[in-house]
Every structure is written in C-alpha cells, then in structure tokens.
Amino acid sequence: MFKFRAPAIVAGVMQIVSMLAFAPLSRAEVDLSGLWFPGGGPGQSPKEYPFTPLGKKLFDEYVAKFKIEDDPGGWCVSPGLPRSIWGAPFPVEIVQTKDFINMFWEGYFQYHKIYLDGHPRPQPILSTRMGYSIGHWEGDTLVVETTHLREYPYMRRLPNTENATISERYTLENRTDSKGVTTKYLTDKMTLTDPALYTQPVTVTSSLRWSPTTPIMEYSCSEEIYDQHLQERGLEVPDFNQGK
C-alpha cells in the first residue's frame, strides 16, 4: 500500500515546497501601532510648485485677493491629504490589524483608513479630504495608493483637484541623538499627482516621532465659520472647472 502512495505523497510535498518558494514575500514586517508626534523632516513644503498654466493662473488670482489670514487653516477647515503630512503640532494615533491600518489625527479629528491589499474592503462611495486608500507591504515599507480625494482649492498650501492621486511610502527607523537617546521615527514620502494643476508629480517628506505618553485630546471645529468669513470678505474660492 505504502509503495503506491509514496510517489503521490512526495509529489504533493514537492508541489507545496515549490509554491512556498515562489510565494510573494510582501508581508508586514513592522507594527506601526501607537501614539506619534510630528517630528519634521526634509522637503516638507515645496518652495515652488510646478504649476500648469491653469494652476499658475488660479494661484496668481488667489494670492492677489486672499490675505494670509484668509487661508483656511486658521478657520478650522480640515486640510486632509496631502497637507496633513506637514505635521501641525498635534499627535497621531495608529491602529494596525491584518486587514487595515487606521491613522487618527488629533488636529481637525482627521481619520485615514488604509485597507490592506488582499483583505475584504468596501468600494469607495464619496470623495473625502483623506481619500480612499489601499496599502501593501514591500518588506518593511508600507506602500499606500490614495484616490477619491475631495478638491482643496486653497492655493497657498499644495491644492488638489478631485482627480488627484497620492502615493506614499512609510518606513520605520531608529534615530540616536547627541545624548545617545534612541527614538523611533516613521517617515512618510508622499507624491501628489494632479495633471490639471501640476506639470509633474510633487513629492513631500515628513516624519512622526514615537511618543507613547502623548494622548489624543478633543479637537472641535466647524467649516461654517470660514464660509461666513469669506462671504463677509466678498471672496470666492477658485473654480477648477473653468477652461474645460
């Protein structure tokens, strides 16, 4: 009996070994869960934007009419992506599971859900400030692609149309300061692609610093106060549909 089964068993084992040998190794190698605080980084804010003719026209018109105090950040308008990478002085909490990664900003109570590739996920319904994100692991690097972004027509801080896409690469590293203290940092290299406004993709980079004792506190705002301010000033934000 065993004489006849042995070849089949050996063949089955060899098939399993072959499948494992060629199986992709793109799995999560690190756990990003915990509390983080903006840690800065190079190239956070581009000095010049590679605007298209339409983008440059809208930018020039915007800065001619809007003062710094008219920009939305001081009026509780959620910046969303890609602007949240700059790191306002508010902590970020990350919760990681095998199916998804949740990132929660104290500032503006922004919520970014990243559905991990290969697991069940809903289809996108609406465009939002943080968009619809799907991520996968390339070794120790988390790669995230985001679509369905709500337009951000405030031209001083990296605006985007509703057709923009974002690609991110998150990497974790340990940094040791001059006093010999080692701290974890999570670096995000983010690339915005939006052909309507930019002639080429725009890349910004920033970091979060591990800060387990910095709790998330309540943050409350309303977009209505900014809309009221614009009406009192007689201002209208740019219309991205002009010229189509």
| Whole-number Cα distances in Å, 52 to 151, 172, 198 | 17, 35, 5
Indicate the pTM of the whole model. 0.80
Helix and strand numbers, DSSP H then E, in the chain: 3, 9
Residue 236 gets which letter from DSSP?
Answer: -
What are the pLDDT digits (tens) for 39-51?
Answer: 865 545 677 899 9
* CB-based contact 77:223 (threshold 8 Å): yes
What are the pLDDT digits (tens) for 213-225?
Answer: 999 998 877 777 8
What are the pLDDT digits (tens) for 143-182?
Answer: 999 999 999 999 988 999 999 999 999 999 999 988 999 9
pLDDT of residue 100: 95
Q: Give the start-to-end residue ranges of the domains of the chain.
A: 34-233
| Whole-number Cα distances in Å, 234 to 18, 65, 74, 129 | 69, 10, 18, 25
pLDDT of residue 28: 47
Asked whether residue 25 carries a pLDDT value surpassing 50, the answer given is no
pLDDT of residue 44: 55
